[in-house]
Structure 1
Amino acid sequence: MHPRLRALLEEPRVPDAPARVWRDWVLVAVFAPAIVLEGIFRPDLEWRAGSVVMGLALLPTLLWRRTHPLATVAIAFGVTAVAPFVLPGDPCVMYTMTWFLVLPYALLRWGGGREAVIGSAFVAAKVGLSALAGTISIGEMIAGFAVMFGVSTLGAALRFRASARARERDRVKLLERERLARDLHDTVAHHVSAIAIRAQAGIAASATQPDAAVDALRVIETEASRALAEMRAMVRVLRRDQPADLAPSPRVTDIERLAGRFRAGPAVDVEIRGDLDDLPPSVGSAIYRLAQESVTNARRHARHATRIEVSVAADDTSVRLRVSDDGEASAARPSGAPGFGLMGMMERADLLGGTCAAGPNPDRGWTVTAVLPRTGAAA
């Protein structure tokens, strides 16, 4: 079998396809009375009652077109393909049967590869049998194939676009996990180094100072517990073929370096409150990364902004970051689904047991807020 054909047949269904949404019920509510009205007021239908009954009976397939795309296409196009040979007239000559176009679209948008091939065969058979029965001309048959091909192509294009965005979203999440893993790796290495040094000191002093060995064991226990907590939360290190980053991980106090007035763009003011001395390195690094990304986005997308305020407040249980600007709304800022930058920030906060959100202010400007537990990854 040709590799491309094999890949097409093995293409899985789109996961988590929505079952029924409000638009589906709107379509049924619109087309149901339209079918009845066409059957009443259109005199050229050969069998009005049969056409109306068949149209109404097949209309519910719209409600299952995403979850059962092949079955809905097979039922709708199979019944209407056989109908002209056993009933007087073709029910698809009804103008309101144009909703049939939604079914091949849904087949290519949500169905699997084998379903798409089999369902397309049903559609082609329907158009061919209608021409064989004499209900449509050769020109109408060609036009029908063109229309079906167009809606199917549209479904396939939207499917490809959605899958490409999903792949990009997964790539952003994976990249953020890599960065977090590197930060946590540096933290664990620090704890393990402290353990090794204290163990060597305890061994050297154990012969003459037994109490010093006991103190060393206490320090080792503390450092080992911290290292174990970081190890449990560390995601798989995925450096691929990239060289290791030997630069030290940023700390929360490094946020102060973001302050100042640049040659162009708004000024950045930083305010840090609370006790940050014993903050775990993973949390401090995450707060810095979130602040850095937020300031970068504000300088890039906040139109006519004059000021960016960065606030970090720490208490006994959590660390709260707030980055706000006074710029105007921009088309580059996400109004619905979050962008990839914000998605990566949310992923990092979630991995550390915290939250991250962003949105417009009531009057003007944009605000990013993040709350991380002091325990960080141990949470």
Structure 2
Amino acid sequence: MILGAWRRLWAEPRVPNAPARVWRDWLLVAVIVVSAVLEVALRKDVVWPVVALVMALGLAATMLWRRTRPLAMVVLTFGAVIVTSLVSAAVGTEQSVGLGTMVFVLVLGYALYRWGSGREIVIGTAIVLVSFALGISVDYTTLGEAAGAFIFMASPLVIGVSVRVVAQSRARELDQVRLREREQLARELHDTVAHHVSAMVIRAQAGRVVAAVRPEAAGEALAVIEAEGSRTLAEMRVLVGALRDGDDALLAPARTVSDLPSLSAADPRVAVRLSGELDELGPAVGAAVFRIAQESVTNAVRHSRGATRIIVAVTGSPDEVRCVVTDDGDTVFAPRSAGYGIVGMSERAALLGGSVAAAPGPSRGWVVEAVIPRTAVA
């Protein structure tokens, strides 16, 4: 069991998409530099002040690459600490060389456990422990203080692991939301194909029955079959590759824009406004508009405190369909930003070449805006 856990840790990959440098990193470096200069200027008990200042200023730059190069920054920083500790021990210095500002190196331990791979974590941990052991040996006081120092050093590592586990758990949940949305799309594709194919089969059977009496009926049947087949192939091209499970889907067309008034019937606070060119929308586009509007209304009903009006405005143009859902509730509490509803809506829109945006309204409430091309592109 222990060997298996060790192998899993060793094979653990890096966390993908580690954020690069942001303005907060530069601010952190500036704080470290200023703190180091002030500490050397104000403290009189600093051992080797020039060496300590140069080391602090030089290693401050590691904050800029701690996420994208966690092991390299740990090796550079703690390696410098190890070398300094060995030199100070060799010359008989009774105190460790360094500044209190050097406490920023603990951030590197957090970054290692948060963003590094399993191999990097193992190697980096060994280097950190060696540095800690040398530091304690040079500046040892009591066992209690040594234990406290170890807990202080290990705390960022534990926090880094905790944040990593929580982030991975949320990422898995988001993947499940996206997968469920793709499965729903696949079911709707199944319904659309089954609906059109059923119509083609019925038309073909009718054509065969009346062909002997009205030969021209065979040509009419072929024209209808061709049109239905073309529409079916167009929908399949849009959503090809979408996943679905093995459950049987009902042979019924998916809900579309024409079903939006049902949202108003279910809740008197909901007002549906349809305008523009909304005829002859593809089943996938119509179903996506209905799904996004339904999810937005559900969020508003459940979470918007004090909402008295929810407006669903759908506008069609020759190129796209725009769906805007607004409410007049309180904007202080915004669960939609942390929930999974917006993830599902965004996934559905993205599969059709569109987009979804959600943000607080200009005065009150929330605004969810979706734009989907009429000719959807997967």
Q: TM-score normalized by structure 1?
A: 0.89
Report if the CA contact (8 A) 2:195-2:251 is conserved. no
1:63 aligns with 2:64: yes
Secondary structure of the structure 2 residue equivalent to 1:324: strand
Amino acid at match of 1:232: R
Structure-2 separation of matches of 1:84 and 1:278? 76
1:142 aligns with 2:144: no
Structure 2: segments with no counterpart, 5+ residues:
none
Cα distance, 1:315 vs. partner?
A: 3.4
Stretch of structure 1 that moved more, 28-37 or 240-249: 240-249
Please list the CA deviations of residues 104-157 of structure 1 after superposition, one character each: whole Å capped at 9, or x if unmatched. Answer: 011101101111111111111111122333466544432221112111001111
Report if the CA contact (8 A) 1:301-1:330 is conserved. no
Secondary structure of the structure 1 residue equivalent to 2:291: helix
Cross-structure match for 1:344: 344
Structure-1 separation of matches of 2:317 and 2:85? 76
Cross-structure match for 1:124: 129
1:172 aligns with 2:177: yes
Structure-2 separation of matches of 1:168 and 1:278? 36
Matches within 5 A, 1:96-107: 96-107=101-112
Stretch of structure 1 that moved more, 3-12 or 270-279: 270-279
Cross-structure match for 2:239: 234
Amino acid at match of 2:12: E
Cross-structure match for 1:21: 22
Report if the CA contact (8 A) 1:260-1:267 is conserved. no
Stretch of structure 1 that moved more, 106-115 or 269-278: 269-278
* Pairwise CA RMSD: 2.5
In structure 2, do the counterparts of structure 1 residues 59 and 325 end up closer, same or farther at CA, with 3 Å as the change threshold?
A: closer
Matches within 5 A, 1:70-219: 70-87=71-88, 89=93, 92-134=97-139, 138-203=143-208, 211-219=216-224
Structure-2 separation of matches of 1:102 and 1:80? 15
Structure-2 separation of matches of 1:92 and 1:98? 13
Amino acid at match of 1:358: A
Cα distance, 1:242 vs. partner?
A: 4.6
Cα distance, 1:210 vs. partner?
A: 5.2
Please list the CA deviations of residues 180-226 of structure 1 after superposition, one character each: whole Å capped at 9, or x if unmatched. Answer: 11112111122222333344445556666554333333333322222
Please list the CA deviations of residues 233-286 of structure 1 after superposition, one character each: whole Å capped at 9, or x if unmatched. Answer: 225464436554566522322211121475xxx622223334544222222222
Stretch of structure 1 that moved more, 67-76 or 219-228: 219-228
Cα distance, 1:339 vs. partner?
A: 3.0
In structure 2, do the counterparts of structure 1 residues 342 and 134 end up closer, same or farther at CA, with 3 Å as the change threshold?
A: closer
Report if the CA contact (8 A) 2:20-2:68 is conserved. yes
Report if the CA contact (8 A) 1:131-1:138 is conserved. no
Structure-2 separation of matches of 1:192 and 1:242? 20
Amino acid at match of 2:172: R
1:256 aligns with 2:261: yes
In structure 2, do the counterparts of structure 1 residues 372 and 12 end up closer, same or farther at CA, with 3 Å as the change threshold?
A: same
Structure-1 separation of matches of 2:201 and 2:97? 81
Cα distance, 1:338 vs. partner?
A: 5.7
In structure 2, do the counterparts of structure 1 residues 252 and 261 end up closer, same or farther at CA, with 3 Å as the change threshold?
A: closer
In structure 2, do the counterparts of structure 1 residues 59 and 359 end up closer, same or farther at CA, with 3 Å as the change threshold?
A: closer
Report if the CA contact (8 A) 1:354-1:370 is conserved. yes
Structure-1 separation of matches of 2:358 and 2:138? 60
Amino acid at match of 1:192: V
Q: For 1:299, which of 294, 301, 307 is the aligned residue?
A: 301
Structure-2 separation of matches of 1:5 and 1:171? 28
Structure-2 separation of matches of 1:323 and 1:86? 67
Report if the CA contact (8 A) 1:352-1:372 is conserved. yes
Aligned residue pairs total 373
Amino acid at match of 1:346: S
Report if the CA contact (8 A) 2:306-2:330 is conserved. yes
Secondary structure of the structure 2 residue equivalent to 1:259: helix
Matches within 5 A, 1:315-354: 315-334=317-336, 337=337, 339-354=339-354
Structure-2 separation of matches of 1:69 and 1:283? 45
Structure-1 separation of matches of 2:205 and 2:9? 62
Structure 1: segments with no counterpart, 5+ residues:
none
Secondary structure of the structure 2 residue equivalent to 1:2: helix
Report if the CA contact (8 A) 2:310-2:326 is conserved. yes
Structure-2 separation of matches of 1:33 and 1:303? 46
Q: TM-score normalized by structure 2?
A: 0.89
Stretch of structure 1 that moved more, 53-62 or 214-223: 214-223
Percentage of identical aligned residues: 51
In structure 2, do the counterparts of structure 1 residues 363 and 45 end up closer, same or farther at CA, with 3 Å as the change threshold?
A: closer
Amino acid at match of 1:367: V
